[in-house]
């Protein structure tokens, strides 16, 4: 029997539940990190995890913040520069940070996952890619089946960039497209002809990348259902292994450059929802499986298989098949994750260099998780990744009565059950196909931090 992937979208339900909410790349989420946690705490918790997880692998993340041009929609931690010396200097300090960290890590722990994000990692020159990549391999041992991924910008890219990435072991890549429509590209200052995207995908496949992901974005200026369908048709012809279709969050009060996008250019809420409906229905009808949180993958993709087997995981690098790995992050603004801790590096280059010139890791804030945080993180992660939760498993692991401990959350989930978004049984909470589209809303009911009364409420993107 053929696998059914098609999802029909109920716009009225999307409207009902559309509200600001976290994306849950961590729990607690980043707005609750504080400067009472520093490098000393980080090293203590690394040593604790090393003792308890000596046989478990590691995930490494490297933040490359530089870009050639500014995309007006961008919400990432990035900076535009054409000063190649500045970039080369930063690469040297990434290596210095690794060298400071390496003595504190159990040498038996192999790298199972590596990701370079940005900014634009491929803004590095090919020789800089090789320099950083080979240094990482010199300092850390890798599993034979390690998932090694990188974000690529097809603009200004050469084939030697792709060769350099393969030389140092990258086997998965993700590239931004957002939209192929020239008027929309001009409005967001990202001119990227379809031809160079196709060329980049061809190079990646020719040189042996196992998986190619393409990023799209809905809610951009001048988008319509018709214009976005034209982009989707071209993407389907390119046939990527995975797709991420993100909701553009217009937050000019936070990202000043977004003021260059006039509010009147943006699609009306009804049009935006219809674009989302089209996207989900068209991709799932075309045999892509909706993984959740804007992501789609082919039925035989590792992410789809992991979701079906209940082993999918999610962290700051997105979805992964490697659950629960410690994440060691390098570079400005990057966030590391341990069993009971998150820490974030400083955000400014000068501070970053000053820390390491003093021989200190550049951590400036974080959060140490208490028992309730760890429990709720597991519940939220299970729901976000695998769309089902076995109460008995949680009860046995944490010595709680699930229905009593989460009584308030379960009461708040009653409307979700009435709307057919979840199925709540005596031993299982299962998210329905329709509920997958609103998984952030469902997870929010288990978030204790959202109930806190604070003067400065965190600002989140909308869930739809």
In this prediction, residue 254 carries a pLDDT of 82
Residues 333, 344: contact at Cβ < 8 Å?
yes
In this prediction, residue 55 carries a pLDDT of 84
Q: What is the mean pLDDT of the chain?
A: 92
Strand ranges for 197-260 from DSSP E = 211-218, 242-247
Q: How far apart are CA 197 and CA 235, in angstroms?
A: 10
Q: How far apart are CA 214 and CA 288, in angstroms?
A: 13
pLDDT digits (tens, 9 = 90+) for 70-86: 999 988 888 999 999 99
Whether residue 1 is predicted with pLDDT greater than 50 in this model: the reply is no
pTM: 0.94
A 10 A CB-CB count for 300 gives 10
Which residue in 123, 219, 212 sits closest to 178, CA to CA?
219
Q: How far apart are CA 189 and CA 388, in angstroms?
A: 41
pLDDT digits (tens, 9 = 90+) for 114-123: 999 999 999 9
- Which residues contact residue 117 at a Cβ distance below 8 angstroms, ignoring those fewer than 6 apart? 61, 62, 63, 64, 151, 317
In this prediction, residue 117 carries a pLDDT of 94
pLDDT band at 463 (very low <50, low <70, confident <90, very high): confident
| pLDDT greater at residue 279 or residue 459 | 279
Tell me whether the CATH fold assigned to 1-21+370-449 matches the one assigned to 33-328: no
Which residue in 377, 395, 445, 391 sits closest to 416, CA to CA?
445
Distances (CA, A) of 357 to 97, 310, 334: 10, 44, 19
DSSP state of 114: E
In this prediction, residue 455 carries a pLDDT of 59
A 10 A CB-CB count for 390 gives 15
In this prediction, residue 2 carries a pLDDT of 42
Q: Is 53 exposed, middle or buried (0-12, 13-18, 19+ CB in 10 A)?
A: middle
Q: How far apart are CA 311 and CA 204, in angstroms?
A: 28
Q: How far apart are CA 5 and CA 245, in angstroms?
A: 17
Q: What is the CATH number of domain 33-328?
A: 3.20.20.70
User: Both tokens of residue 349?
Assistant: 């280059």
How big is the CA angle at 180 (ends 175 and 181), to the nearest 5 degrees?
Answer: 155
Q: How far apart are CA 210 and CA 136, in angstroms?
A: 21
In this prediction, residue 337 carries a pLDDT of 95
Q: What is the CATH number of domain 1-21+370-449?
A: 1.10.10.920
- Which residues contact residue 414 at a Cβ distance below 8 angstroms, ignoring those fewer than 6 apart? none
Q: How far apart are CA 143 and CA 382, in angstroms?
A: 26
Domain range list for the chain:
1-21+370-449, 33-328
Segment 400-410 shows an average pLDDT of 97
Whether residue 212 is predicted with pLDDT greater than 80 in this model: the reply is yes
pLDDT digits (tens, 9 = 90+) for 88-99: 999 999 999 999
Q: How far apart are CA 367 and CA 407, in angstroms?
A: 26
Residues 258, 73: contact at Cβ < 8 Å?
yes
């Amino acid at each position: 029997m053929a696998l059914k992937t098609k999802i029909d979208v109920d716009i009225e339900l999307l409207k009902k539940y559309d509200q600001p909410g976290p994306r849950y790349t961590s729990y607690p989420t980043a707005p609750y990190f504080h400067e009472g946690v520093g490098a000393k705490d980080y090293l203590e918790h690394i040593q604790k995890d090393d003792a308890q997880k000596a046989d478990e692998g590691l995930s490494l993340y490297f933040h490359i913040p530089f870009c050639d041009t500014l995309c007006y929609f961008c919400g990432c931690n990035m900076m535009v520069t054409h000063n190649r010396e500045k970039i080369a200097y930063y690469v040297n300090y990434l290596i210095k940070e690794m060298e400071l960290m390496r003595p504190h890590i159990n040498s038996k722990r192999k790298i199972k996952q590596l990701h370079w994000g940005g900014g634009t990692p491929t803004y590095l020159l090919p020789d800089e890619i090789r320099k950083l990549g080979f240094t990482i391999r010199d300092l850390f041992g890798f599993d034979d089946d390690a998932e090694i991924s990188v974000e690529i910008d097809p603009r200004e890219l050469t084939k030697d960039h792709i060769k350099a990435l393969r030389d140092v072991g990258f086997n998965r890549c993700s590239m931004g497209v957002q939209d192929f429509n020239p008027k929309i590209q001009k409005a967001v200052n990202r001119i990227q002809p379809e031809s160079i995207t196709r060329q980049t995908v061809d190079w990646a496949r020719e040189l042996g990348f196992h998986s190619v992901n393409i990023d799209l974005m809905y809610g951009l200026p001048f988008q319509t259902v018709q214009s976005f369908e034209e982009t989707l048709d071209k993407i389907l012809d390119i046939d990527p292994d995975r797709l991420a279709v993100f909701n553009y969050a217009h937050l000019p009060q936070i990202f000043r450059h977004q003021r260059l996008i006039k509010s009147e250019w943006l699609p009306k809420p009804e049009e935006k929802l219809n674009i989302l409906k089209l996207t989900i229905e068209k991709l799932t009808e075309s045999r892509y499986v909706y993984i959740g949180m804007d992501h789609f993958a082919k039925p035989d993709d590792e992410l789809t298989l992991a979701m079906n087997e209940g082993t999918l995981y999610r962290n700051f690098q997105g979805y992964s098949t490697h659950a629960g790995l410690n994440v060691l992050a390098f570079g400005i603004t990057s966030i590391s994750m341990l069993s009971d801790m998150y820490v974030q590096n400083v955000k400014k280059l000068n501070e970053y260099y000053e820390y390491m010139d003093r021989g200190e890791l550049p951590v400036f804030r974080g959060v140490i998780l208490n028992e309730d945080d760890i429990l709720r993180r597991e519940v939220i992660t299970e729901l976000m990744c695998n769309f089902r939760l076995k109460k008995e498993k949680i009860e046995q692991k944490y010595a709680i009565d699930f229905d009593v401990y989460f009584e308030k959350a379960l009461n708040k989930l009653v409307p979700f059950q009435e709307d057919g978004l979840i199925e709540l049984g005596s031993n299982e909470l299962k998210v329905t196909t329709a509920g997958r589209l609103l998984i952030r809303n469902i997870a929010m009911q288990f978030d204790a931090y959202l109930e806190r009364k604070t003067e400065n409420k965190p600002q989140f993107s909308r869930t739809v």
